[in-house]
Amino acid sequence: MSSIRVALVTGANKGLGFAITRDLCRRFPGDVVLTARDEARGRAAVQQLQAEGLSPRFHQLDIDDLQSIRTVRDFLRKEYGGLDVLVNNAGIAFPWNPCPSRVSSFLSKLTAPPKNPEVKFKPLAWLVEISEELVGLMNKFVEDTKNGVHRKEGWPNTAYGVTKIGVIVLSRIQTRKLSEQRGGNKILLNACCPGWMRTNTAGPKAPKSPEEEAETLVYLALLPLDAEGPHGEFVSEKKVVQW
């Protein structure tokens, strides 16, 4: 097993992922792997960082492709014996009018009684206890959207917001499972909100740059090895946010 630590960032060829990779290359005590779905764009991003005097490694990764995920897994096992830091950044969103409060708005929809009495949403705290229910809920949103009834069923009109709530709840579920495993408390797992920033997804009118909003993610990635927290939390502006 290699003694070199390794951090991997998904969706890192542009925007927030690129900013996170750049900062980790400067500050992380080990290797940083920049991954991207498109190999040409990923290698171009690596060359840009190399021109700045940084030394990221590159590996192709499409998080929607199971074989691609397995290939990266095998690479990490062979080269490093595992993985020290994962920044699960990759994601997409269709162009729309961005609203910085979209996630909190959806939280209230799930925790408050729905307008449609036939919709039987469960409180988020309950979902954390049963992971299968979260999968079912996300699948229901997909099917309701395909059938054009998502608004009638009480969903907001944003796939981006729904998926982000799913990520937060999934993080809580995974934290619980880690705590149930022997030695699981050695792994810190958190969800975080980097904020509204100027990217292709959020548009040019956002108040902050990807470099500014990368601070929270890099803060979590650089937590000391003996740190006990934050763990299983939702973090924004380097602070734990109650939800």
* pLDDT tens for each residue of 180-200: 775 555 789 998 876 655 555
Q: Indicate the Cα dihedral angle 138, 139, 145, 147, nearest 10°.
A: -160
End-to-end CA distance of the chain: 39
The DSSP 8-state label assigned to residue 114 in this structure reads P
Annotated catalytic residue 160: yes
209 close to 197: Cβ distance less than 8 angstroms: yes
Backbone angles phi, psi at 7, to 5 degrees: -120, 140
CB atoms closer than 10 angstroms to residue 5? 16
195 close to 238: Cβ distance less than 8 angstroms: no
Choose the weakest-confidence range: 75-79, 92-96, 112-116, 201-205. 112-116
Question: Who contacts 84 (Cβ-Cβ below 8 Å, separation ≥6)?
Answer: 5, 6, 7, 30
Q: Which of 58, 80, 141, 160 does the annotation list as catalytic?
A: 160
Instruction: Please indicate whether residue 150 or residue 47 has the higher confidence score (pLDDT).
Output: 47
43 close to 14: Cβ distance less than 8 angstroms: no
User: Which CATH superfamily is 1-91+195-230 part of?
Assistant: NAD(P)-binding Rossmann-like Domain (3.40.50.720)
Q: Which of 16, 29, 19 is nearest to 222 (CA)?
A: 29
Q: What is the pLDDT of residues 7-66, one digit of tens each?
A: 999 999 998 899 999 999 999 999 999 999 999 999 999 999 999 999 999 999 999 999
CB atoms closer than 10 angstroms to residue 191? 23
- Enumerate the domain spans of the chain: 1-91+195-230, 95-187
pTM value is 0.78
As a whole number, mean pLDDT of residues 139-160 equals 87
